Amino acid sequence: MLFYQCMLLAGYLYCHWLCSRMSLQRQARVHLWLAALVFAATGIAVVCWGSPLTPASRWKFFLAGSPVLHIIVLLTVAVGLPFFLLSTTAPLMQHWSSCTQKGKSPYRLYALSNLGSLLALLGYPFLVEWLMRIRTQALLWTALFGFFLLLCTLETWSIRRLGAATPRATASEPDRVPAPRIALWCALAACGSMMLLATTNLISQKISANSFLWVVPLSIYLLSFMICFENSRWYKRGVFFSLYFVSVAMFAWSTIYPDAEIDAVRQMSLYCLLLFSVCMVGNGELERLKPASHSATPFYLSIAFGGALGSAFVVLVAPRIFRGLYELHLAVLGTGAVILAVTLAASPASQRIDARFGAGGVLGRTAVAATTLASLATMLVLVRADIDQHSRNMVQLRNFFGIKSVYDKDGIRYLQHGAITHGGQYVAEAMQMEPLFYYNRHSGAGLLLSNYRRISGRSEDQPLRLGLIGLGAGDLAAYSKDGDYLRFYEIDPQVVQLSTGLRPLFTYLRNGRGRIEVITGDARVNMEAELVRGEPQRFDVLVVDAFQGDAPPVHLLTTEAMQLYLQHLRGRNSVIAFNISNRVLDFTPVLRALSSKWGLCFDLIGNFDGTVWVLLSRDDKIIKNPAIYRGPFEFNDPPVLWTDDYSNLLSVLKK
């Protein structure tokens, strides 16, 4: 989203510069050169990569230690120029429309462009991703983009001819917009952008980090633009100011009283209602404050700047200055403050906006001001309550990977990541090396690690090499013995901090026997780099534990990933163990397909507490040993083979 907002800002800045400095003919000439440049760059990408959207594999290692910068650089290289051209289309075409069709407002085209975005957003996960491989998607996109370039060229050429026919025709000089009005445009757009990303974070932390749920907030955001800019009559201040106050009050109540009975559906509905009310108020006021059509480009530039500012704050600033999701509170407070400013302003523009109040204009503005002040006071109380709630945790950390909380309850120290418990440890010193939750003695990993030496024909004092993808609280170190080597791969450095250092909160690693190493970064990227360096790890057991969340790292469950794992195993009797415990997704069909693809024996171990492990090995004597085998199995769902080129979470949703 940060990349999207920044590229949108760059495109709108280009349009503003073009339309305010050049005649129609020169605008068209410059834009034709830009289209030619993008066409050439797209062709070069197709030649180098096979498609314009799929960079070479070496890019996965670039800046891997800085995930935000890595993602932004990767997106810029892959889609930067094409998206820059696409981002210029809406404001530029609207400006040309206002120049060629005098008296006709182009702002409905803005609603139309957001409708196109909404259709693509809903169509991709539920249709395109399901039907096509990534490479096929990229080739189809290239063909459609070529068609777009053709239409863009024809339209631009017609504008160039129009400009040539009327040599003195120049772009209309935008009206000089007062600085407070520009600041108001930016503030409203920033509040909406912050609210979008903050709500998405809140849903991920409180309900589920499910990528399908991420579609909902963005759809609401786009829908609010469509409603407000399609026609002025759809936005009624009295209705949506009241909705804003009611949704803020309901959200405050649910947060101040977290033990109140509210299920996930109602919780999701409440978050979406709050987002909708904030976006409708913000975009409704933007539509009311829009300038004349010939001054549309500075208006859109201000919206883009505010959107980029809001995204940058949530992505770059908030994780460094906040331990909780306080950017949502700031977005709501900011919206309330802007409402107050708009309502109480005495400028002619504001009087025109409030004309619907008629003779009761003063009373109407007073009512709105009181409502806004009540909302602001409610949010301040909410922030205070939220801070008090977080202060009860022993530690709360936040970074790019989310919020981690550590707290003690009933003699157990828990590691909570969002809504998921990722491990824990007994507080009592005598019990501290007893593994808990997904890793207890009766779990799939517990049974395997407790019995592996015996069922593989090893002596009890023979050391093992264990690979573990996902550290959590480090529970699996409890199974180590003298001489063992344990190599943990953990992508989140803050999780590593909780189990290392002079005074770790979880002591499995400190008290574990054998030699323990923790490798920070993406496990697959690190394991590929180890093979490139000629350092296969020769693991006896490899534990892949990264799928408890509802937005799993799919690249750890593809056939290419399985090939990588097999290259790091010691021999035929080595075992790969997958923790697929998950509330929403069932990865059993994927692992069944992988076991068939690579000729591996399959074992599924489920416990009464919802813990589910799958064990895979080339040696059926290991897997089918009575100490760990739970088969034979009968499955109704067909296997689903994922590759780096095709995966689809819809196929593994639990029925």
Distance CA 653, CA 655 (A): 6
- The reported pLDDT for the residue numbered 382 is 59
Band of the pLDDT at 215, cuts 50, 70, 90? confident
Distance CA 540, CA 545 (A): 16
Distance CA 514, CA 354 (A): 74
pLDDT in tens, 574-583: 999 999 988 8
- The reported pLDDT for the residue numbered 352 is 47
pLDDT in tens, 63-108: 766 788 888 888 998 899 999 999 998 888 888 887 777 666 677 8
Is 15 in contact with 95 (CB distance < 8 Å)?
yes
Report residue 486 as tokens. 């344990």
User: Tokens 């199974």, residue?
Assistant: 479
Top-tier CATH class for 431-652? alpha beta
Least confident of 154-168, 304-318, 364-378, 595-609: 364-378
Distance CA 276, CA 217 (A): 8
pLDDT in tens, 492-512: 999 999 999 888 999 999 999
Residues of the chain with CATH 1.20.1250: 174-390
Top-tier CATH class for 174-390? mainly alpha
- The reported pLDDT for the residue numbered 292 is 79
pLDDT average, residue stretch 360-389: 59
pLDDT in tens, 523-582: 999 999 999 999 999 999 999 998 876 567 889 999 999 999 999 999 999 999 999 988
Vertex 74, ends 123 and 536: CA angle to 5°?
Answer: 105
pLDDT average, residue stretch 27-51: 89
- The reported pLDDT for the residue numbered 347 is 44
- Higher local confidence (pLDDT), 596 or 20: 596
- The reported pLDDT for the residue numbered 251 is 81
Band of the pLDDT at 345, cuts 50, 70, 90? low
Residues of the chain with CATH 3.40.50.150: 431-652
pTM of the model: 0.83
- The reported pLDDT for the residue numbered 351 is 47
